[in-house]
Structure 1
């Protein structure tokens, strides 16, 4: 998405997006860092704590249920043969 729409980040530097817990890893985080985007996440043992770390727990507790709710309402979690 960021490669297709570079204006999403260039027009708004220093963004902190909410992301799915499955988005992680040094290559992924490196691409975000190149665009001055900070991803809130738990700090690894080998990393210094990032400035927003104390806030990542509460925000994830809010974002994940909202995501699950919309996924359910939109039927995105169901397989085609499952009844509503």
Structure 2
């Protein structure tokens, strides 16, 4: 599991370890370097890019769900729509793969 550096603590890590989960997170100040540290910078950039795509193109901050189940359904619908658009744009040779502009009528 990849987590923020605030997910720490001996008991927390032991619980994850007992469940067979390896925790990857950045080291906190004063901690020894942790495994996987070199992966975090490019991974963080990828995650931020995905979050910006969700917020911008998919308008997830105003999803309109009224219940937790409604929130989940609306978010998943939009992710599925973007995935289908990327697939379609790739198969039809469009220059921009992650754009929904052509379908926004």
Q: Which has the larger radius of gyration?
A: 2
Q: TM-score, normalized by length of structure 1? A: 0.48
- The normalised TM-score by structure 2 is 0.41
User: Whose helix fraction is larger, Structure 1's or Structure 2's?
Assistant: 2
